[in-house]
Structure 1
Amino acid sequence: MTGETFPLYIAGRLVGADTAVDVVNPATDQIVGSIAAASPEAVDAALDAAAAAFPRWSALSGAERAEWMDRLRAAIAAKEEWLRTLVHLEMGKPWAAAGEDFSMLLDSLDYYAGLARGFDSALIEDREGTHHHEITREPVGVVGAFLAWNFPLLNLAYKLGPALASGCPVVIKPSAKTPLSAYAVGQICHEIGLPAGAVNIVGGDDAMIGDRISSSPIPAMLTLIGSTATGAHVMRTGATSIKRYSMELGGNAPVLVFADADLDLAADVIAALKFGNSGQICVAPNRVFAEEAVRDALAQKIVERAQAVIVGFDRNAAIGMGPLIDRGARARIEGLIADATAAGAEILTGGAAPEASPSDAFLAPTVLRHISGDMRIAREEVFGPVVNLMEPPGGEDEMLAAANDTDAGLTAYVFTADPARARRCARALRFGEVQINGVKYAINLPHGGLKQSGIGVDCSHLALDDYFAVKRISTALAPDTAA
């Protein structure tokens, strides 16, 4: 696979380019492929192709679009080995985790194809009996979709399924750090003869391409998975015209662990989310608040799990954690750790590269304690394998106040055996998702945040609300038929 250059996918065609961008496996520092880099003219061509496709693609019935989605799903399923390998290489992601990425793409196409077959209009009763009112939903238009690098196929799934189902042609910009698998899906779209312009995939210079799409008047909607700062930039750049926005942005998830909680369960969930994908997960728990009676015991359990994680890059081994996305990410996180320790934090385990690291992008699973709420590591999204054990804020009310003390509002976790306390916490926590005594994500469950963590939702039927516009059709009834 090394040396292969993947083409752009524009207007139903595979398109080369004068320049290419190499993709480096952060686990080995080796080039594993490259992509044709979109020029400004190529981005414009993708937008024009999507605009030209809109009348035809949107005019298809939901059932007809679902048939195309079924065809695409089957073709993707037949290329599992190829697509998983691309994710494995472009991220250094463990092989099993690459399978989870791949499965979500299949699940999304299957789920949204099912919804596409069931789109219905609705009636509104006329109070005076003089009119017939029908409410229909129509695709809003061209969608520009910007993908984060941390889950290359999962993030694609979150955007591709709703766009295809709703009838919105889409221009997709994968991250230049992990574009290979998205470009490969473009090749599969070409192979099945997907109607030209329904899907377009352009990558390369992230800033140029993103701004070119955002500032264009062609997209009716921009959708993003990324940081809060990036979301704000996209909205500023997109102000050239009235657009819709659907954004899943940064997180700073708290975990509240009460004295009656199942500590093994809490430690398992915290470790799985913090060390899975090297902690590069928007919903990963950043701040752990535990009642004093169980604080030391919980810390010990998390440390044990951190020290048991197998770190490395080997498809044939039971690797639990791969590298960070690049050495710059490791340097940033080490800076946060150094800032915290200088202010009094203690490293219980980790804090540096594991022994015999194959590249400079690896960081050992890390657990810190004595973290105060004013430290940078507690204020910023770590996006790495670091568990922050927070200084005790007091009782339930104080824990809730400390948990809410963040501009982010994506996900929060609560562990308690008291159902009444769980309900109180769920109501009080200002987060788009509150997970109680466990964690569950699926394509049919809405995923979105409050405050600075986003607009709209990914996943579930609710995601389609942003891709559809509501149209009212009111017909006056003839006098002899009016009630």
Structure 2
Amino acid sequence: MSDKLNHNWINGQQFTTTNSLQVVNPANGETIGEVPKVDAEAVKQSINAAHQAFNTWSNYTAEYRGAVLEQWAHNLLAKQEELATIMSEEQGKPYAEAYGEIGVCAKFIKWYAEEGKRIYGEIIPPSSPQQHISVIKQPVGVCGLITPWNFPGAMIARKVAPALAAGCTVIVKPSSETPRIAIAIFDELLATDIDAGVANIITGSASLISDTLFDDARVRKISFTGSTAIGKSLMKKAADNITRISLELGGNAPTIVLPDADLDQAANAVVENKFENTGQMCNGINTVLVHKDITTAFTNKVIERVKKLKVGPATDKNAQVGPLINHGAIDKVSTLVADAQSNGATVATGGQKLALSDFGLFYEPTVVTNVTADMNIAQEEIFGPVAPIIEFESVEEAIKIANASPYGLAAYFFTNNINTVYKISEQLEFGMIGVNGTQLSVPQAPFGGIKESGMGREGGHHGLDGFLELKYISLSLHE
């Protein structure tokens, strides 16, 4: 079939193969395109290209690299509607969310276009009169960037922009579920003044591509966003060449609603976060912990809002909740809800698949009550449009439930008592804390987790650190 996005980019040239991967619209199961399925030789070609381009790109001024990034952001905004349509079609998220995500891409790229100019070194007081000590920061080199399907545009920008700003060259491997939007975004990057080989994108088998990247010592850094299980396997592969690695992995984000919270404001924030991207968000709320004194009142407010959510394909511009990404995802959601019910939980609203298409990936926005912390629905990352509500009696109990998870990406809580804000924030074992709000992904702040949610940060000046090496220089002067 003909598809204008059926190509990769290697060394500044479009690259195609005879073997292809089909891309499916999760709203209806229709094949919407195909992308190359590269072999190991193509991966090696991309490494060669990135390695050869590194010396030139890393020696450009930060101002020059920033100008290229500014061009890229401009190109994306000029085609925001077209790109949003591509994203919605292959990922399933509502058009409004996809349109906003392209805007987020541009924000991250523009921010790093400026932040790359502020990669500062240090002058350190010497230990003797003849000694001068300085520390400089240099780009690590060739970087392999592996991105997920749930935010297939934003994650390209969040990884590629700081890498390029730091002076690195990149090889991007997007998810096979959503490769076309990644290629479309790369088309706009390659339409700038960027040198050939600086930015490469390849699609195909995740294991083949990652193994080839890890086997080549010229690849100095891998950045991966995805499941904790795969992240652990990549850490093992990184050991062979001591490849630097950063990981943004699974989450099981709790939100805690205290009795003194503004319940309407909290309900709005919880529903907005929980059902964004059909609940397929690593930092999305997984469990809602509510104090016993307000459980009924708060639950009713959440249910009222959830019942008003419009479910539909991206072609319905009024849709707020789309399909899940694949059959494995909806099966997991269905299983978790059924398991909770069998163990005493109650489905207060939703709880069923929706027959909006024969493909069967739509699921009702769901609220489950009478959930206990030991149920699978509370222990596992749901990654779907389901909000389990757990009642607690004290702040200490809520914090204990939240911290019992092996994950530590994001947590949220709602209170109007300023005295408890830092007390709870400091006790929660998570890399990011939202207080009276759930917006965490912004260009200027470090996004990332602790424990089994990964290592490293994306966003802020901290997002540059993973692409930079420290070099200490000691100069001894002779009299």
Bucket of the pairwise TM-score, normalised by the shorter protein: over 0.9
Deviation per residue, 1:162-213 (Å, 9 max, x gap): 1110011111000000010111123233333521111110012223222322
Q: Matched residue of 1:73: which SS? A: helix
Equivalent in the alignment of 1:197: 197
Give the C-alpha shift of residue 296 in structure 1.
0.9
| Cα pair 1:393 1:402 within 8 Å, conserved | no
Shift of 1:75: 2.3
Which secondary structure state, in structure 2, belongs to the residue aligned with residue 46 of structure 1? helix
CA shift, 1:41, in A, is 1.0
**Which segment drifts farther, 39-48 or 71-80?**
71-80
Q: What is residue 105 of structure 2 aligned with on the other side?
A: 105
- Letter of the aligned partner of 1:413 in structure 2? Y
1:245 matched to which residue of 2?
245
Structure 1 residues 7-27: Cα deviation after superposition (integer angstroms, max 9, x where no partner)? 010111101101111111101
What letter is aligned with 2:166? S
Shifted more, 27-36 versus 211-220: the winner is 211-220
Match of residue 174 from structure 1: 174
Q: 1:143 deviation in Å?
A: 0.8
Whole-Å separation in 1 of the counterparts to 2:366 and 2:301: 13
Q: Is residue 403 from structure 1 mapped to residue 410 from structure 2 by the alignment?
A: no
Cα distance in structure 2, aligned partners of 1:290 and 1:118: 43
The separation in 1 between residues aligned to 2:420 and 2:129, in whole angstroms, is 50
**Partner Cα separation in structure 2 for residue 427 and residue 87 of structure 1:** 38
Kept in 1, the 8 Å contact 2:89–2:314? The answer is no
Deviates more, 1:286-295 or 1:172-181: 286-295
Map 1:230-241 onto structure 2 (within 5 A). 230-241=230-241
CA deviation after TM superposition for structure 1 residue 368, in Å: 0.6
Say whether residues 1:25 and 2:25 are aligned partners: yes
Q: How many residues align?
A: 478
Asked if the contact 1:257/1:415 (under 8 Å) is kept, the reply is: yes
Q: In the alignment, is residue 360 of structure 1 matched against residue 381 of structure 2? A: no
Counterparts of 1:88 and 1:331, CA distance in 2: 22
Distance 2:273 2:416 in 1: 21
CA separation in 2, counterparts of 1:73 and 1:291? 45
Q: After superposition, where does 1:28-427 map in structure 2 within 5 Å?
A: 28-315=28-315, 317-354=317-354, 356-357=356-357, 359-390=359-390, 392-427=391-426
Deviation at 1:5, TM superposition (A): 4.5
CA contact (8 A) 2:76 2:102 kept: no
Aligned to 1:475: 475
TM-score by length of 2: 0.96
Q: 1:312·1:358 contact (CA, 8 Å) conserved in 2?
A: no
Cα drift, residue 350 of structure 1: 0.9
1:434 alignment counterpart: 433
Q: Distance in 2 between matches of 1:347 and 1:357?
A: 24
Question: In structure 1, how many angstroms separate the alpha carbons of the residues matched to 2:24 and 2:60?
Answer: 40
Structure 2: distance between partners of 1:462 and 1:212 = 28
CA contact (8 A) 1:303 1:367 kept: yes
1:381 & 1:93 partners in 2: Cα distance?
A: 19
Aligned partner of 1:457 in structure 2 is 457
Q: Which amino acid aligns with 2:148?
A: A
Deviations along 1:312-360, whole A, 9 cap, x unmatched?
Answer: 0144532111111012210111011111111111111111123544631
Select between 286-295 and 121-130 the one with higher mean Cα deviation: 121-130
Task: Give 1:265 shift.
Answer: 1.4
CA distance, structure 1, for counterparts of residue 137 and residue 4 of structure 2: 42
Cα distance in 1, alignment partners of residues 182 and 124 from structure 2: 42
Partner AA of 1:409 in structure 2: G
What SS class does the counterpart of residue 234 from structure 1 fall into? helix
The answer to whether the 8 A contact 2:279-2:386 is kept is: yes
Structure 2 unmatched ranges of 5 or more:
none
TM normalised by structure 1 equals 0.96
Letter in 1 for 2:72: L
Task: Return structure 1 stretches of 4+ with deviation > 6 angstroms.
Answer: none
What's the secondary structure of 2:307's corresponding residue? Answer: helix
Change (3 A) 1:394 1:353: same
Amino acid in the other structure paired with 2:63: A
One-letter amino acid matched to 1:371: V
